[in-house]
């Protein structure tokens, strides 16, 4: 179980740049 199980994250600007990197990291978690 990850520390983000049961949580929802809304990442704006996830299409490119830093937002995309954050979205990918959160998806892996």
Please answer whether residues 26 and 2 qualify as being in contact, where contact means their C-beta atoms are separated by less than 8 angstroms. Answer: no
Each residue of 4-29: pLDDT tens digit?
788 888 888 878 888 888 888 888 87
Cα separations in angstroms, 6 against 3, 13, 14, 22, 25: 9, 23, 21, 18, 16
> Is it the case that residue 1 has pLDDT exceeding 60?
no
pTM: 0.56
Helices and strands counted in the chain (H then E) = 1, 0
Q: Report the run of H or E that residue 28 belongs to, with start and end.
A: helix 17-28
Domains in the chain, number: 1
Q: Which domain holds residue 25?
A: 1-29
């Amino acid at each position: 179980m990850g520390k983000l199980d049961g949580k929802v994250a809304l990442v704006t600007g996830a299409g490119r740049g830093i937002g995309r990197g954050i979205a990918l990291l959160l998806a892996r978690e």
